[in-house]
Amino acid sequence: MADVVRVERLRVVARDERGGETPIVKDIGFAVARGEVVALIGESGSGKTTIALAIMGYARPGCRISGGRIRVGDTDVLSLPPSALASFRGRRVTYVPQSAAAAFNPSRRLLAQVVEGARIHGLMPRVEAERKAVELFRALALPDPETIGRRFPHQVSGGQLQRLIAAMALLSDPELVILDEPTTALDVTTQIEVLRAFKKVVRERGTTAIYVSHDLAVVAQMADRIVVLRNGEIQEQGMTGQVLDSPAHEYTHSLLRAADPERRARRADGRDASPEAPLLQVSGLTAGYGGIGRDGLPAVPVLRDVGFTIRRGSVLGVIGESGCGKSTLARVIAGLLPAALGVVSLNGASLTANVAGRTRDQLRRIQIVFQMADTALNPAQTVGAILARPLAFYHGMNGEAQRRRIAELLAMVRLPPRLADRYPSELSGGQKQRVNLARALAAEPDLILCDEVTSSLDTVVGAAVLELLDELRRELGVAYLFISHDVSTVRAICDQVLILYAGRIVEFGDRRSILRPPMHPYSDLLVSSVPELRLGWLDGIGQAHLAEAAHGAIGADDAELCSFRNRCAMRLEGICEAEPPPTRILGKGTRILCHRTEQELAWAQLGDPARAANRETVP
């Protein structure tokens, strides 16, 4: 087959502060054959997006394509004049960005935006473009393909937006589509349907594509060939199966290791949940936004009747999709969002709902670390000043003692002491998250609320932060409430896990027993939605499961009924809509909220769905 794209000795440089030029892509060469999907994989800073953009003849501000050749079809991209580049992009090469939400204009209807590119390039009349767009909507399994285009971007979900932008990219039948981390910002359950839709369309249309990602498991489903990048250099390239099964390069090995939850979990084994006294007890917690009504419930409930216990020095994981209330839980415990009902008690003493009523010692014992390391550090303060404040505030520590302690804290999170003098903007993402952690440790807390602390980090950097958390737990005896949407991360480091759906705990139990069958239908959906690091995983997903995934998450409602009922493939008609689900203790030791019996769940999840489907009513 003829190559559609051929990149030779591509070199991109970035200008630094002193006016010098640093190469960020170093003499890269690869080719993409017609109908082939090639993945560029690597951590942030590996140059993968820079290469993808260079293929469109574009370099970000401050960067410059300084050498090499890029051929797409018969065109030498780098020698095109600007006017020719404009008609080249969007017609022959199209681009799907990571955040579709940021790529759509919020004040225009979707269909008008999807056909805009084709209109600008004068490829086809409006009516034909719209007809073709609807066709693509159908191919991408969007709901209501005829009418979805009349909506505005805020009226569709994130997964749907991502598919709409793919439709935009495919509309002009381009020779090449570049997909830049198209599912990274999505929940696992949403990711599945988007990946399925992408794969189907790519296969049916024989699209040639470059798929940029940091996620090996996703790439394993999508790509024919993988190019592994690091620091702007190619480490290894080969067929997907071969790279996954017998990676040639050490760096690929380390990527595979970091992506493999089982390997990480093995490290956590061999320790038992400590038998110590409860540190934090939460019961009957109900919280949300808006005014409190006469029934004592907030106008927009986010958490409903949540209760659990964290023991000293242990790790409780909280898993759920975005919008399930997991971040709200951390805010309620920290006192940032006062709960409407329920009690939070620390060491047996109940805490006031609002942070203002808590004693300084109680405040010190609970610290919070946020997901976005960028916005959690004050850009106007040096790292030293950021760490100094909790030392002075909680411990009255000043002067020389304070300076020594700052150095100690930095050492604890594996940062060199000279960073004390830097501003947050001068640090990398991983370093910022370590400073966040150090600030929490400065208080000498009993409990750290970790809200998605590794989600914005690369796999390898994230794995290092997790390792650090685990070490600190062992050395300092600090407990964590570990919030994540990533099932494998939670499985790897938590002692106990609770699964939150639409503000309710649907399953709660020990690490070793939770997330394996029999389990709550939602737990099952979560577990089976995590991309596995093997070929063909995506194609092997069952239909019932896909329907659940495609439904999309819902918010909390007032009803006492099961919050998962509208989406559940194992729903019992006439029961789930009528009665609140009972609490069941499963044989493996976890507590679930479900009408289904343990036996039925086991049948469904261990490969005998027919027997599970048999029951129509409660016996």
Which of 366, 490, 505, 572 touches another protein by CB under 8 A?
Answer: 366
Assess contact for 225 and 237: CB atoms under 8 A: yes
Judge residue 417's burial from the number of C-beta atoms within 10 Å of its C-beta, 0-12 exposed, 13-18 middle, 19 or more buried: middle
Q: Which stretch binds another protein (CB under 8 A): 74-82, 422-430, 486-494, 526-534?
A: 422-430
Which of 107, 425, 543, 614 touches another protein by CB under 8 A?
Answer: 425
Task: Tell me: does residue 379 bind another protein (CB under 8 A).
Answer: yes
Query: Residue 101 corresponds to which amino acid?
Result: A
Cα–Cα–Cα angle for 534, 254, 491, rounded to 5 degrees:
65
Structure tokens at 530: 């995590």
Task: Tell me: does residue 336 bind another protein (CB under 8 A).
Answer: yes
CB of 445 to another protein, least distance (A): 11
Judge residue 20's burial from the number of C-beta atoms within 10 Å of its C-beta, 0-12 exposed, 13-18 middle, 19 or more buried: exposed
Task: Tell me: does residue 349 bind another protein (CB under 8 A).
Answer: no
Binding mask 432-461 for another protein (x = CB under 8 A): -------x---x------------------
CB of 18 to another protein, least distance (A): 13
Q: Which stretch binds another protein (CB under 8 A): 59-67, 81-89, 330-338, 553-561?
A: 330-338
Query: Residue 435 corresponds to which amino acid?
Result: V
Q: Which stretch binds another protein (CB under 8 A): 215-223, 386-394, 535-543, 548-556?
A: 386-394
Residue 41 contacts by C-beta under 8 Å, 6 or more apart in sequence? 48, 212, 213, 214, 215, 216, 219, 226, 227, 228, 229, 255
In the complex with another protein, which residue's Cβ is closer, 18 or 360? 360
CB of 34 to another protein, least distance (A): 43
Structure tokens at 586: 């499963």
Nearest to 424 by CA among 416, 433, 415: 433
CB of 385 to another protein, least distance (A): 5
Which of 67, 68, 338, 384 touches another protein by CB under 8 A?
Answer: 384
Task: Tell me: does residue 413 bind another protein (CB under 8 A).
Answer: no
Assess contact for 212 and 179: CB atoms under 8 A: yes
Residues 280-309 touching another protein, rule: CB under 8 A, are none
Task: Tell me: does residue 389 bind another protein (CB under 8 A).
Answer: yes
Q: Which stretch binds another protein (CB under 8 A): 53-61, 120-128, 310-318, 395-403?
A: 395-403
Assess contact for 466 and 492: CB atoms under 8 A: yes
Q: Using DSSP bridges, classify how beta strands 37-41 and 225-230 pair: parallel, antiparallel or unpaired.
A: parallel
Nearest to 551 by CA among 566, 536, 572, 535: 566
At residue 230, what are phi and psi to the nearest 5 degrees? -155, 130
Q: Give the count of residues interacting with another protein (CB under 8 A).
A: 45
Task: Tell me: does residue 381 bind another protein (CB under 8 A).
Answer: yes
Distance between CA atoms of residues 511 and 344, nearest Å = 23
Task: Tell me: does residue 421 bind another protein (CB under 8 A).
Answer: yes
In 10 A of CB 212, how many CB atoms? 27
Q: Which stretch binds another protein (CB under 8 A): 86-94, 201-209, 289-297, 354-362?
A: 354-362
CB of 423 to another protein, least distance (A): 3
Task: Tell me: does residue 331 bind another protein (CB under 8 A).
Answer: yes
Q: Which residues bind another protein (CB under 8 A)?
A: 331, 334-336, 355, 358, 360, 363, 366-368, 370, 372, 375-382, 384-385, 387-390, 392-394, 398-400, 402-403, 406, 420-426, 439, 443
